[in-house]
Structure 1
Amino acid sequence: MVMLKGLSASMNARLIGAGDEVVVLAHGYGGDQSLWDKVVLCLAQDYQVLVFDWTFSGAAKNTQTWFDPIKYGSLEAFADDLVGLLEEMGIKSCVFVGHSMSGMIGCFASIKRPRLFKKLIVVGASPRYLNSEDYEGGFEMSEIEQLLSAMGTNFEQWASAFAPLAVGGKDQNAMEKFERSLTRMKPEVALAMAKLIFLGDYRHVLELVATPCTLICTTNDIVVPPSVPFYMQKKMIKIKSRVEIIDVDGHFPHLTAVNQFLEVLARVLDS
């Protein structure tokens, strides 16, 4: 049994299941490890599965103590936490599955410690959300400013409106599950993280990734345009990456299309 200490304790780390291979499931903005519940149930039959809560999550312990907006001024700081967590848990090698912002965190971490990561699976990830002349990120600056303003004015009201749009489709349980985890975030932390994500530009990281990568997207995601995973694939010049498209609306295929999501994971894990 692994004794939790430091990062693993504050991030509520749990290693579940059995098997020789470790699969790490990392949630995205507004989430916590509970968003992986259905995926964990299946994977834990054949793999050791590591789930945890990022320090910005409403489920993390002592967020006020652990979350320093100056320290976490870049996604790279979360990659340091990820590497530290894996080392603390005694994990020598893993398949990393990162949703949304965690996809780019996994890219950073794989560059720092390539031997720790056998494969990357990024879900609804994006290196940049802001449009420019040569890149479609999905948002104009005016839209991002409006989003940040709405969050700062009334975070709970913004969250209740954003959650169903982000989840997409008609799965009420999935929408409520995400809204619960989103509204558990401390408003000041949520706003700081939103600025970090929506105003960041991590495109330069892609060409440094040398770990085999699968990019999972959905057919209709209001957060990430369909061109983004193909852009990422093109920029990952050191490796052969592939794009997998799940035919469902929304940013959370692991909530709204669990069976299809698990089918993709199985193909990648078995390859």
Structure 2
Amino acid sequence: MGGSNSNWSSGGATGSKLLEMLNVRVVGNVDRPAPALVLSHGIGTDQSAWNRIVPYFERDYRIVLYDLVCAGSVNPDHFDFRRYVTLDAYVDDLLAILDALRIDRCFFVGHSVSAMIGILAAIRRPDAFLKLILIGASPRFLNDENYHGGFEEGEIETVFAAMESNYEAWVRGFAPLAVGADVPEAVREFSRTLFNMRPDITLFVSRTVFNSDLRGVLGLVRVPCVIVQTAKDVSVPPSVAGYLKAHLGGRTTTELLHHTEGHLPHLSAPAALAPVIRRSLSR
């Protein structure tokens, strides 16, 4: 895959080196006139999480897939604990990928933390994004005064302690909870990618995400957004989707997957999610 040799400003790697490090792939209709569709996964998965979604869009879109630097499919030596202490470094990576692939404008689908990475990227470079589709997005996971994020701080510390003391046991308990639906294949797949991650990286990134609070910047978003929320998500209560709709600055709509449960609908219910994404892209 070709890429420019523009400097990757924060990490020191060239653009082409970054494409290699983060396993960037362009699939589907790779002709330049086809609109670019970037699919960005959440914590605990890698780009394979989109495998059941890609076939719905490969005829009409130039699809960009990549792995977050924390994913188990990326060499853990590339994870810089000093650099990835906030979500801004992940935004740097995303924008550097677009530059290296010479993509001026794209549709962006982000799951969980990648939804927030997309929001930050669109604030920094609004002209690069035609629309953001945000699946299981949350600007803050912790409860606060007049804000229900879903978790108390004590609960989160208990989760972190469980991850630290016995990562394997934590994954086995967490994966079915996160998938939330009786789809054993999705639980197996999510468990596989969680086990692929180095436990210290999983813990570090989880702390970064749970310490993030992006509520104050939502109004800066000018790009149209679609919030996709399942009927029941252990990580993101429905009130968060309402909060996003009320506070995002751009034109924002909400899509509720009424008959789908869990935090990973692209794994557990791709046939329900894909038409919602397609409708969102064409709207």
TM range (shorter): over 0.9
Match of 1:2 in 2: 2
* Structure-2-length-normalised TM-score: 0.92
Match of 1:68 in 2: 80
How far the C-alpha of 1:204 sits from its partner, in A, is 1.2
- CA–CA distance in 2 between the matches of 1:175 and 1:205? 34
- CA–CA distance in 2 between the matches of 1:39 and 1:195? 29
2:251 is equivalent to residue 240 of structure 1: yes
- CA–CA distance in 2 between the matches of 1:108 and 1:43? 25
CA deviations 1:117-158 (Å, max 9, x no partner) are: 110001001010111121000001110010010011111211
- CA–CA distance in 2 between the matches of 1:107 and 1:205? 9
How far the C-alpha of 1:255 sits from its partner, in A, is 1.4
Structure 1 SS opposite 2:141: coil
The alignment's C-alpha RMSD in Å is: 1.1
CA deviations 1:217-268 (Å, max 9, x no partner) are: 10000000011011011111x3210110112110011112212211111111
* Structure-1-length-normalised TM-score: 0.96
The alignment of Structure 1 onto Structure 2 pairs a total of residues equal to 268
1:210 corresponds to which letter in structure 2?
R
How far the C-alpha of 1:215 sits from its partner, in A, is 0.4
Q: Could you tell me the percent identity over the aligned residues?
A: 41
Structure 1 SS opposite 2:103: coil
Q: How does 1:88-99 map to 2 (within 5 A)?
A: 88-99=100-111
How far the C-alpha of 1:76 sits from its partner, in A, is 1.4
1:156 corresponds to which letter in structure 2?
E
Which consecutive aligned stretches of 4+ in structure 1 deviate over 4 angstroms post-superposition? none
CA deviations 1:96-117 (Å, max 9, x no partner) are: 0000000000000011111111
- CA–CA distance in 2 between the matches of 1:240 and 1:35? 28
Structure 1: which 5+ runs fail to align?
none
- CA–CA distance in 2 between the matches of 1:270 and 1:209? 20
Match of 1:16 in 2: 27
- CA–CA distance in 1 between the matches of 2:160 and 2:277? 34
Match of 1:210 in 2: 222
Structure 1 SS opposite 2:93: helix
How far the C-alpha of 1:2 sits from its partner, in A, is 2.2
Structure 1 SS opposite 2:51: helix
Structure 2: which 5+ runs fail to align?
4-14
Q: 1:140 aligns with which of 142, 147, 152?
A: 152
Match of 2:71 in 1: 57
2:42 is equivalent to residue 28 of structure 1: yes
2:232 is equivalent to residue 220 of structure 1: yes
Q: 1:184 aligns with which of 192, 196, 203?
A: 196
CA deviations 1:34-82 (Å, max 9, x no partner) are: 010011112111111011111000001x222x21122111111101110
2:244 corresponds to which letter in structure 1?
M
